[in-house]
């Protein structure tokens, strides 16, 4: 199963579905001058625009404290497009679109900022812009409530059903623990209805992540064995080679656990473990995801000590290049106790997954960039093969999220020759072989869905709280018992040795 010609890949089976442009709207980005816009949001907008998926009356208004004017901000964006938008056609769109971007310099705590925004939106409306608004909160969690209050006071959040919408998009992290996530939900729900809130997780916009449900529920051969009878355990790895870069100030407060687990990684876990939904619609999918989140065993303090591992990178080498320790990065405390690595062993208390361990790990400055889900099936009895039986390995299904997106199945085969020798081979599917490579960030899909009011890829209030509830005991124990061995892994290695022990104690090992 290698190249396009080998499988049923006719025009009928694989064809790019034709999408319509999204509903018209003005995208208001709070915190537009930050990293997120230039690295991810604007490249995603350029990609949508180039593919004809933005309405012709689409505009962007940015609000941030930095002292730009619209003119100087556009000039800065021009440089950013050159640097961060790699596809030439996307770049062309991005540069041409700059004159549809407006900038308001203002403090989020100042009510004049919102008054000025209202004037700008009214002016744009006179120039045919839509009354639909998407307010994107790309700001630290402590400002979310403040921004919502400012918008509410100017009546900018009132929508009129069937006439125009007002939606808010909240970037992760949604709160910084269970209590703050709950109070943020409560606060937002006093200003807007749940259907107006889009809690964004860009992992869910990645093609391979979306493919998880298609893969599971459109192929009859996997679902019958997708349970505790046949699956030994599951590993989810999100490994990054990058360090903290310019995000030290944010990361010092967040750490790897908050940054990656309650959102991206639990989302992957829920897609892998959920039951089939009644239909592929937002409510039904969210219902099933929510059920598996509720089934995850919440750690006791004792379990935190045995089933959760934290680490922080020291200096080391990535691709033969020396890189500094976390504590030497910009805006990081030289004695920082923030973790840059986390590994967990989770169990689910439900019929399908009882006693199947889920090992999760994520970290910065690991040897390779790789996000992958590995499903290890139970071993077959080896009695038929005599001495060769010792080489039988369990079947592995590997779902590669990024880079080199694809799926492979590892199985045992006879090595050619007179004697019976067994080895492992892979059946490989690579996205690029069938669909070409498209450089997308994941934000394209989630932004497009917000414009169209489709909640399928977003989380409900209660789901965000359940996810925080799962990691809260870890946060509590870790803050009560500060680590004494940081830094405990060198950049360019696979994390602290305790992470290996987590699996070795169960007679298992990380599959790299
Ligand atoms: C972000 C985290 O949400 O996801 C980052 O804050 C992380 O720390 C990033 O690097 C990973 O996303 P991607 O799309 O680059 O794999």
Name which residue sits closest to atom 2 of ligand 1, judged by CA.
Answer: 259
Helix (H) or strand (E) holding 273: helix 266-273
Q: What percent of the chain has pLDDT over 90?
A: 83
Each residue's pLDDT tens digit, 174-190: 999 999 999 999 999 99
Q: What's the CA gap between 236 and 258, in Å, rounded? A: 16
How much is the pLDDT for 13? 42
Of ligand 1's listed atoms, the one at least distance from the Cα of 263 is 3
For the chain, the C-alpha Rg in angstroms (whole number) is 24
DSSP count for the chain of H helices, then E strands: 16, 18
For ligand 1, say whether the CB of 449 is within 6 Å of any of its atoms: no
How much is the pLDDT for 135? 97
b vs e for 17-37, b when ≥16 Cβ sit within 10 Å of the residue's Cβ?
Answer: eeeebbbbbbbbbbbbbbbbb
pLDDT for 18 beyond 90: no
Q: What's the rounded mean pLDDT across residues 288-295?
A: 97
The two three-digit tokens of residue 396, written as one number = 């592995």
Each residue's pLDDT tens digit, 102-146: 999 999 999 999 999 999 999 999 988 899 999 999 988 889 999
Q: What's the CA gap between 13 and 8, in Å, rounded? A: 7
The two three-digit tokens of residue 329, written as one number = 């990065």
Ligand 1 pocket test, candidate residues 176, 202, 205, 243, most atoms within 8 A of CB: 202
How much is the pLDDT for 17? 57
Fold classified for 20-171: Rossmann fold (3.40.50)
Q: What's the CA gap between 14 and 215, in Å, rounded? A: 14
Locate the domains of the chain by residue range.
20-171, 205-504
Q: What's the CA gap between 122 and 114, in Å, rounded? A: 12
Name which residue sits closest to atom 5 of ligand 1, judged by CA.
Answer: 259
pLDDT for 2 beyond 50: no
For helices 178-191 and 461-480, angle between their N-to-C axes, nearest 10 degrees: 150
Distance 311 CA to ligand 1 centre (A): 18
Average pLDDT score, the chain: 92
Residues marked active site are found at 264
How much is the pLDDT for 6? 41
How much is the pLDDT for 383? 77
pLDDT for 373 beyond 90: yes
CB 199 within 8 A of CB 185: no
Give one word for 26, left, alpha or beta, with left for phi > 0 and alpha for psi -120 to 50.
beta
User: Which residue, among 322, 313, 251, has the nearest Cα to 488 in the 3D structure?
Assistant: 313
Each residue's pLDDT tens digit, 385-440: 887 778 889 999 999 998 989 999 999 999 999 888 889 999 999 988 988 777 67
For ligand 1, say whether the CB of 442 is within 6 Å of any of its atoms: yes
Q: What's the rounded mean pLDDT across residues 77-89?
A: 95
pLDDT for 159 beyond 80: yes
- Residue 5 class from Cβ within 10 Å (0-12 exposed, 13-18 middle, 19+ buried)? exposed
The two three-digit tokens of residue 253, written as one number = 């407060």
Each residue's pLDDT tens digit, 193-247: 999 999 999 999 888 898 999 999 999 999 999 999 999 999 999 999 999 988 8
What are residue 414's DSSP bridge partners?
422
Architecture label for domain 205-504: 2-Layer Sandwich (3.30)
Distance 232 CA to ligand 1 centre (A): 29
For ligand 1, say whether the CB of 259 is within 6 Å of any of its atoms: yes
Residue 5: band (very low, low, confident or very high) from pLDDT cuts 50, 70, 90: very low
Of ligand 1's listed atoms, the one at least distance from the Cα of 201 is 3
How much is the pLDDT for 1? 37
Each residue's pLDDT tens digit, 302-361: 999 999 999 999 999 999 999 999 999 999 999 999 999 999 999 999 999 999 999 999
How much is the pLDDT for 439? 67
Each residue's pLDDT tens digit, 440-472: 788 999 999 999 999 999 999 999 999 999 999
């Amino acid at each position: 199963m290698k190249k396009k010609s080998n499988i049923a890949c006719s025009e009928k089976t694989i064809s790019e579905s034709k999408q319509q442009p999204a509903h018209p709207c003005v995208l208001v980005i709070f915190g537009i001058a930050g990293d997120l816009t230039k690295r991810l949001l604007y490249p995603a907008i350029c990609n949508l625009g180039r593919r004809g998926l933005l309405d012709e009356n689409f505009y962007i208004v940015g609000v941030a404290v930095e002292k730009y004017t619209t003119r100087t901000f556009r000039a800065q964006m021009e440089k950013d497009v050159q640097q961060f938008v790699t596809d030439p056609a996307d770049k062309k769109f991005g540069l041409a679109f700059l004159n549809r971007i407006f900038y308001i310099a203002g403090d989020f705590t100042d009510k004049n900022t919102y008054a000025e925004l209202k004037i700008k939106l009214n002016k744009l409306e006179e120039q045919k812009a839509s009354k639909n608004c998407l307010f994107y909160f790309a700001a630290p969690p402590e400002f979310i409530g403040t921004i919502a209050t400012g918008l509410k006071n100017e009546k900018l959040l009132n929508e009129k059903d069937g006439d125009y919408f007002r939606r808010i998009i909240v970037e992760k992290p949604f709160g910084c623990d269970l209590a703050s996530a709950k109070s943020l939900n409560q606060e937002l729900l006093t200003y807007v209805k749940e259907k107006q809130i889009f809690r964004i997780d860009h992992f869910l916009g990645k093609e391979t992540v979306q493919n998880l449900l298609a893969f599971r529920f459109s192929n009859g051969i996997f679902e019958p064995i997708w349970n505790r009878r046949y699956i030994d355990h599951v590993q989810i790895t999100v490994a990054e080679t990058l360090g903290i870069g310019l995000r030290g100030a944010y990361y010092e407060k967040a750490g790897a656990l908050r940054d990656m687990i309650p959102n991206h990684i639990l989302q992957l876990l829920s897609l892998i473990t959920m039951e089939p939904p009644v239909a592929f619609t937002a409510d039904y999918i969210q219902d099933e995801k929510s059920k598996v989140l509720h089934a995850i065993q919440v750690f006791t303090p004792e379990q935190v000590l045995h089933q959760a591992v934290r680490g922080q990178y020291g200096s080391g080498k990535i691709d033969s290049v020396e890189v500094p320790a976390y504590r030497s990065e910009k805006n990081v405390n030289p004695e920082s106790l923030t973790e840059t690595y986390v590994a967990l062993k989770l169990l689910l208390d439900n019929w399908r997954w009882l006693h199947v361990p889920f090992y999760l790990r994520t970290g910065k400055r690991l040897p390779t960039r790789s996000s992958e889900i590995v499903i290890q099936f139970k071993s077959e009895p080896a009695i038929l093969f005599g001495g060769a039986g010792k080489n039988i390995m369990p079947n592995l299904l590997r779902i590669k999220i990024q880079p080199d997106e694809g799926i492979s199945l590892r199985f045992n085969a006879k090595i050619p020759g007179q004697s019976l020798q067994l080895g492992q081979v892979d059946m490989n599917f690579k996205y690029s072989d069938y669909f070409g490579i498209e450089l997308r960030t994941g934000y394209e899909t989630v932004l497009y869905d917000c414009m169209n009011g489709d909640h399928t890829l977003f989380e409900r209030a209660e789901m965000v709280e359940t996810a925080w509830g799962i990691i809260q005991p870890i946060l509590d124990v870790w803050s009560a018992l500060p680590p004494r061995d940081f830094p405990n892994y060198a950049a360019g290695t696979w994390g602290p040795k305790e992470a290996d022990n987590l699996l070795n104690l169960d007679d298992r090992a990380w599959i790299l």
